[in-house]
Chains A and B, each alone.
Chain A
Amino acid sequence: MSNSMDDVAKQAQAFFIIGSNTTEQHPVFGAMLRQAVKQRGAKLIVADPRKIDITEFATLHLRHKPGTDIALLNGLMHIILEKGWEDKSFIDERTENFDEFKATVIQYPPEKVAEITRIPVEKLYEAAEILASCKPMAVIWAMGITQHIVGVRNVMDLANLQMMLGNMGKPGGGVNPLRGQNNVQGACDMGGLPNVYPAYQPVTSPEVIEKFAKAWGLRTKDELGKMKDEEKEFIPNPSREAFILSDKVGLTVTEMMPGILEGRIKSLYILGEDPVMSDPDTKHIRHCLEKLDFLLLQEIFPSETAAYADVLLPGATFAEKTGTFTNTERRVQMVRQAIEPLGDSKPDWWIISQLAKKLMVRISDRVQKEAAHAGWEFKDTAEIMFEINAVTPSYGGITHARLETGERLQWPCPSADHPGTLILHTKQFTRGKGKFMPIDHVPPAEKPDDNYPMIMSTGRVLYHWHGGQMTRRAKGLMEVYGQALVEVNPDDAVKIGLNGKNILRITSRRGSIEAKAWVTDRVPPGMVYANFHFPEASANELTHASLDPVAKIPEYKVTAVKVELV
């Protein structure tokens, strides 16, 4: 999030929620938004094909066709320009490339947009007026925006909207993606991505490589070049990669899986993740994992993925270890150990360090041990945090000691005396001027046809979490929501002949599931909604791995399916 949750909830005059089921997926923030609407009359526009719970509090619900977000946004911006509601001084002072962007937006008159999105023209005008007249206005989104082949373009177009209205860098405004997992923000910040080191330092940058080579005790390319031939002879494996940090962007999870079949990936180390449940096209994922030479799975439960593991290491839950999580507003917070790890299970940081030490013995020629952060001897996570401080500019001043004093620390927090950053981009953008990007509508990858005439979208429900390993083992949650339900519109239910029966078979080009129907107008006719919490009826048996070309995120929100009675 560019802004903070309390800032947005207290100061925004209007919220534009697009592709976020906020009250079910970020329930406590969702409740804050309900309070803002109820108690101080903030306006709320929800753009979502489904009638999700928060639409009950909405001033306006735009029920667009799945996969038409860009057309919708361009249409709204078209009206804003037509009416002259854009923030001209912000555009002049803080941004560039407006004219090129404008030329694209002009191509989206309301009538055309109404045809693509199925939102009536008058509703588009109404929405544009609310968005433009309520300042500041905060845009809030989640996976409904990003899980498309145009995920990155969707996000860029939302940034266009907020720059055009001058809502960037201001209290109560901003672009506010809600991060799903408790520490997905932190996993990204800490370099859990194939293209960047911690704090998004590119793996391809020679300066960054040199910095980490120095810190971790690796040789640089230059040093290697200067080595005499006789020195090289002492080194048993003289391939280039044996000594230096790779400057090649690695594979994303959605590339690693098919990479197994191509022989590009031989061994996998999976920490606390369940690809069989969470990745697209389950049958394909199972096939890939089957073909691995070696799979190490570090988990708290024997997950669906465990069937494919060769070694299972018992990790610890959040209640059994101390360290930090970073939430969706970039706020780093303490996690504190409350109980001892169960049985012989160990905190994950301990397991990773032990394995690293054993590997360093086996790959002995690589790391030069005298470097400042070459080693793996950590007494506790506070010590690991010191190393993070040293190599991660945005976390430079975030220590356990400061957090324990109750300081509110949101990155960037580069030094021990820095107070952290509540709102990003207040004076300038990361690149200087904000660049407007001309974005065109692209239809989803998979189109309905005669054989698969309906659209399925996927997501989670309030009572369960992702692949369901934790929540399916929580008794009360199972009592309230004990099996997968597929949302289907009453009109479709009649067409399908659901009368009195309740089990549906949903089939896509990749697979088929059977699940209980929930007949509800939450979904529009022609659309069903399914989740991936239950292995016996997981939506990911049906989804496909069409990826956004930049973010490599799969298009979970649009799958063509056939729905029949069992």
Chain B
Amino acid sequence: MVNIKINGKDIQVKDGMTVLQAAQEAGITIPTLCDHRDLEAFGGCRLCVVDVKGWRTPMASCTMPVNEGMEVETHSPAIEKSRKTILELFMSNYHDSGYQDGQKEETQFMHWVKHYGLDVKASMSPKPRHIVNSDANPFVFVDLNKCIQCTRCVRACADIQGRFVWSMAERGFDTHPVAGADTDMLDARCESCGACVAYCPTGALDNKMSIGAGKPDKLVMTTCTYCGVGCQFELNIKDGKVIRVTSTEKAPVNGNHLCVKGRYGYDFIHHPDRLVKPKVRRYLLEGKRKEDIREQRVEHSKTNPLISNSPISSPWDWVDVTWDKALDIVADKFADTRSKFGADTLGFLTSAKCLNEENYLMNKLARQVIGTNNIDHCARL
């Protein structure tokens, strides 16, 4: 352990920690932008500077290790003033073209800009330097006018996704992130996991599908519906619709990381193809026997899209019915099959996409109510 003093308070911290981590542990918030706990420290934005006794200039707390007897001031007037100056410098290159961003909340950068009393409109660069929406990736919206060269995208891609799509090109004032050898993200082998968006503190990289979607009414933490890893994320809900998926460090398996399907494959939920009414074939309502009309099904399915009610009246047309009616028809059929041919002529395919509770009920339905072990799902396929 190491004994240090922060803002006049004696504290003990673990050896090897940075001053920033020590301050965070002591409950002191030092403004940061390029720093992120999941990423290797970079020390580039200088917003986290602090006064360290014995050092001539303010030091970046995110890269400075603690030392025995160290005395640190985190919010002295001089430090606060240099933070404001740093933000003013960032703002002089920053340009907001006025579109509604695709972020869950105010960006980290805007938070500090406002915190330090800067007028966004007055302090930002009057003209954009880059094309807005400059990359063709369908998920990632690139607006380098908002970039502050913090390199969190570069580090997220390399350290978290392991894909090395982003790097910094050119020098000095012209420094900016590029995908691959300054090409489109997908050409640079981007897997569209969205890590760079999740870690970007300014909205220079944004969720393309959510640009203009607004801020959520609520966030619901849930488990992904795609693969067996079991990532969790927040569904951003507005007016009863999923408008965005955001990752969160609170997710136990995956933290801030997601894949392209988890983060951006959610628009199927509100797709117009969704089945929203119980449907039965017309023949079931007309009391016809399936074996008498089997031939006509092929004809019907050739000329009709999957669910729309067809203009010509065929016994195979889909007809919308009430839940009660649909379930009665099914129950009659199943009970009839069971009494005529025996329980083992019924089969049940349960679903690896459904809940544990639902799978349990399918198992109970087949075994308790019907009396067959003919139950399986797609585990083999």
Q: Are A267 and B220 in contact (CB under 8 A)?
A: no
Q: What are the residues of chain B within 8 A of A392 when measuring CB–CB?
A: 360
Q: Which parts of B196-220 form the interface with A (CB within 8 Å)? A: 208-209, 218, 220
Q: How far apart are the CA atoms of A362 and B356 in the complex, in Å?
A: 27
Q: Which parts of B261-311 form the interface with A (CB within 8 Å)? A: 261-262, 264-271, 273-281, 284, 290, 294, 297, 301, 306-307
Q: How far apart are the CA atoms of A374 and B369 in the complex, in Å?
A: 9
Query: Does chain A have a CB within 8 A of B332?
Result: yes
Q: What are the residues of chain A within 8 A of B345 when measuring CB–CB?
A: 263-267
For B347, give its contact among A27, A189, A251, A363 (CB under 8 Å): A251
Q: What are the residues of chain B within 8 A of A331 when measuring CB–CB?
A: 230, 252-253
Q: Are B344 and A248 in contact (CB under 8 A)?
A: yes
Q: Are B275 and A335 in contact (CB under 8 A)?
A: no
Q: Are A193 and B356 in contact (CB under 8 A)?
A: no
Residue of B nearest to A470 (CB): B268
CB distance from B150 to the nearest CB of A (A): 21
How many chain A residues touch B (Cβ–Cβ < 8 Å)? 160
Q: What are the residues of chain B within 8 A of A302 when measuring CB–CB?
A: 273, 275, 306-307
- For B162, B228, B348, the residue with the greatest tally of chain A CB atoms inside 10 Å of its CB is B228
Q: Are B229 and A189 in contact (CB under 8 A)?
A: no
CB distance from A301 to the nearest CB of B (A): 5
CB distance from A427 to the nearest CB of B (A): 26
**B320-354 interface mask toward A, CB cutoff 8 Å, 1 = contact, 0 = none?**
00010011111111110111011111111111111
- For B262, B333, B342, B366, the residue with the greatest tally of chain A CB atoms inside 10 Å of its CB is B333
Q: Are A306 and B379 in contact (CB under 8 A)?
A: no
CB distance from A138 to the nearest CB of B (A): 16
Q: What are the residues of chain B within 8 A of A314 when measuring CB–CB?
A: 274-278
Q: What are the residues of chain A within 8 A of B227 when measuring CB–CB?
A: 25-27, 180-182
Residue of B nearest to A270 (CB): B349
Q: Are A321 and B355 in contact (CB under 8 A)?
A: yes
**A89-120 interface mask toward B, CB cutoff 8 Å, 1 = contact, 0 = none?**
00000000000000000000000000000000
Given contacts A241-B344, A356-B364, A473-B268, contact A324 B260 (CB under 8 A): no
Q: What are the residues of chain A within 8 A of B341 when measuring CB–CB?
A: 266
Q: How far apart are the CA atoms of A351 and B280 in the complex, in Å?
A: 15
Residue of A nearest to B195 (CB): A31
Q: Are A334 and B363 in contact (CB under 8 A)?
A: no
Given contacts A314-B276, A462-B191, contact A198 B360 (CB under 8 A): yes
Q: Are B280 and A190 in contact (CB under 8 A)?
A: no
Q: What are the residues of chain A within 8 A of B229 when measuring CB–CB?
A: 5, 26-29, 178, 327-328
Q: Which parts of A318-344 form the interface with B (CB within 8 Å)? A: 318-319, 321, 323-329, 331-340, 342-344
**B234-277 interface mask toward A, CB cutoff 8 Å, 1 = contact, 0 = none?**
01010011100000000011100111111011111111011111
Query: Does chain A have a CB within 8 A of B170?
Result: no
Query: Does chain B have a CB within 8 A of A192?
Result: yes
Q: Are A31 and B373 in contact (CB under 8 A)?
A: no
Q: Are B374 and A256 in contact (CB under 8 A)?
A: yes
Query: Does chain B have a CB within 8 A of A216?
Result: yes
Query: Does chain A have a CB within 8 A of B372?
Result: yes
Query: Does chain B have a CB within 8 A of A352?
Result: yes
Query: Does chain B have a CB within 8 A of A272?
Result: yes
Q: What are the residues of chain A within 8 A of B335 when measuring CB–CB?
A: 359, 362-363
Q: What are the residues of chain B within 8 A of A239 when measuring CB–CB?
A: 342
Q: How far apart are the CA atoms of A311 and B368 in the complex, in Å?
A: 23
For B346, give its contact among A34, A183, A265, A325 (CB under 8 Å): A265
For B276, give its contact among A342, A408, A551 (CB under 8 Å): A342
Q: What are the residues of chain A within 8 A of B132 when measuring CB–CB?
A: none
Query: Does chain B have a CB within 8 A of A476?
Result: yes
Q: What are the residues of chain A within 8 A of B17 when measuring CB–CB?
A: none
Q: Which parts of A225-254 form the interface with B (CB within 8 Å)? A: 237, 239, 241-242, 244-246, 248-254
For A31, give its contact among B161, B268, B363, B365 (CB under 8 Å): B161
Q: Are B257 and A336 in contact (CB under 8 A)?
A: no
CB distance from B222 to the nearest CB of A (A): 5
Q: What are the residues of chain B within 8 A of A250 when measuring CB–CB?
A: 344, 366, 372-376
Residue of B nearest to A392 (CB): B360
Q: Are A355 and B330 in contact (CB under 8 A)?
A: yes
Given contacts A253-B381, A310-B290, A311-B326, contact A332 B356 (CB under 8 A): yes
Q: How far apart are the CA atoms of A354 and B346 in the complex, in Å?
A: 18
Query: Does chain B have a CB within 8 A of A283?
Result: no
Q: How far apart are the CA atoms of A191 and B335 in the complex, in Å?
A: 22
Q: How far apart are the CA atoms of A390 and B175 in the complex, in Å?
A: 62
Q: Are A470 and B265 in contact (CB under 8 A)?
A: yes
Q: What are the residues of chain B within 8 A of A241 when measuring CB–CB?
A: 342-344, 371-372
Q: What are the residues of chain A within 8 A of B209 when measuring CB–CB?
A: 475-476
Query: Does chain A have a CB within 8 A of B193?
Result: yes
**B155-178 interface mask toward A, CB cutoff 8 Å, 1 = contact, 0 = none?**
000011110000000000000000
Query: Does chain A have a CB within 8 A of B377?
Result: yes
Query: Does chain B have a CB within 8 A of A405?
Result: no
Q: What are the residues of chain B within 8 A of A471 when measuring CB–CB?
A: 261, 265, 268
Q: Are B351 and A187 in contact (CB under 8 A)?
A: yes
Query: Does chain B have a CB within 8 A of A425?
Result: no
Residue of B nearest to A472 (CB): B268
The 3 closest A-B pairs by CB, nearest first: A343-B276, A327-B230, A250-B373
A-B contacts, 19 listed (Cβ < 8 Å) = A5-B229, A28-B254, A31-B257, A178-B229, A182-B225, A193-B377, A198-B360, A212-B367, A269-B362, A306-B307, A312-B307, A315-B275, A318-B222, A336-B221, A385-B357, A476-B192, A476-B265, A551-B380, A553-B380
Given contacts A265-B345, A267-B346, 17 further A-B contacts (CB under 8 A): A193-B377, A194-B373, A198-B363, A216-B364, A251-B347, A253-B376, A268-B349, A273-B351, A290-B297, A314-B277, A315-B275, A349-B358, A354-B323, A359-B370, A465-B265, A474-B268, A477-B261
Residues on B lying within 8 angstroms of A by beta carbon are 138-139, 159-162, 186, 191-193, 208-209, 218, 220-232, 235, 237, 240-242, 252-254, 257-262, 264-271, 273-281, 284, 290, 294, 297, 301, 306-307, 318, 323, 326-335, 337-339, 341-381
